[in-house]
Each structure stands twice: as structure tokens, then as C-alpha cells.
Amino acid sequence: MDDPEERFTNLYDRHYRNVLGYALLRAESALAEDLVSETFLVAWRRLDDLPEPPLPWLLGVTRNLLRNQRVKRFHSDELVVRLAQLSTFVEGDVAERVANRQEALAVLAGLREQDVEAVVLASWYGLTPAEAAEVVGCSARTYNVRLHRARRRLADVLRPHPPLTFQEQA
């Protein structure tokens, strides 16, 4: 496949949903869509340099763009105010109506961002430790340690807590 437009179209068709899903976990929908657009713009510009498989690279670009966006946000009080006003419109997401997704999001919201990222890359995207490490910018060994700790913390959150005894309540 030598035609760049066809290669890009295939890349976009294969990975758009995964990149958008990753962005939606980390940002509100309008920002997530912008991040995905920017990610694929970078991919178009670097089409000849894309690694195989491209998904970890695409997620890494999205992650870096999100980080850059957050830095810009912290430097602009006006942008922070606008984002706070826009946050009330997030309820329109159809996927939010699915009970299992809501429960998963609630549990994930209780974890550190680094833990969420480690679990999501392994579980939802099925990336190998080496691929996930490429996304987050660390070694595979470091990623494995992060994933192990994140899974342990997740298990702690999901573990049912015994009811309080009379003495503990007092």
C-alpha cells in the first residue's frame, strides 16, 4: 500500500475509536475530540515514521497532547473558568447511561491517574507491557510495577468492606 492517503485512511479507520476512547477517559468530550483530531494530524505528518503496531504510538501522542493542554490550562485563569462552565454539559454522553460503565468510572475515579492509566492500557486496550510502556514513556519493567500496584489498589477498592461492629460505630 504505497498511497499515503489510503494508508492514513486505514490507520484512522482501525484506531480512531481506541484513541477517542482513551481521550474520553481523560478529558471531557469536546476536548477529547480535539485531542483525537490533533493526534491524527500528527500521524498524517509523520505517516512514514509510524512504528508497528501504531496504536501505542497514537495513544502516546494523545497523552502528550493532553499533558500539554493541561499545562496551558493551568496558565490561563480564563480557560479554567470556561472549562468549569462547560463541565455541566457532559451529561449527554449516551454511554454514561450504561450501568456497568458508570460503576467502572466511579471505581476508576477513586484511583490515582497513573493507576487508571496503567489498568486501562492493559485491560481495555490489550496492550503488551512494552507497548503500554511506550505510551507512558517508561520502561516495560517500570510499567509492570505500576500495573501491579494499580491492580492491588483496584482490588482494595473493589473488596467489600465488612459492616461496622457496634464498638466501631461508637
Tens-digit pLDDT string for the chain (170 aa): 578 899 999 999 999 999 999 999 888 888 899 999 999 999 999 999 999 999 999 999 999 999 888 766 654 444 344 434 444 444 544 444 455 566 666 777 778 888 888 888 888 888 888 989 998 899 999 999 998 888 888 777 777 656 656 565 55
Would you state the pLDDT for residue 141? Answer: 92
Would you state the pLDDT for residue 59? Answer: 94
Alpha-carbon distances of 71 from 102, 114, 158, rounded to whole Å? 28, 17, 32
Would you state the pLDDT for residue 83? Answer: 37
Would you state the pLDDT for residue 52? Answer: 92
pTM exceeds 0.75 = no
Beta strands in 1-158 (DSSP E): none
| Domains, in order of start, for the chain | 1-96 (1.10.1740.10), 98-160 (1.10.10.10)
Alpha-carbon distances of 79 from 24, 27, 85, rounded to whole Å? 19, 14, 10
Would you state the pLDDT for residue 102? Answer: 63
Q: Alpha-carbon distance 115 to 87, whole Å?
A: 24
Would you state the pLDDT for residue 2? Answer: 78
Would you state the pLDDT for residue 12? Answer: 95
Would you state the pLDDT for residue 26? Answer: 87
Chain-centre distance of CA 30, in angstroms?
15
Alpha-carbon distances of 82 from 37, 67, 71, 154, rounded to whole Å? 21, 18, 15, 33
Q: Estimate the crossing angle of helix 55-74 against helix 129-136, to 10 degrees.
A: 30
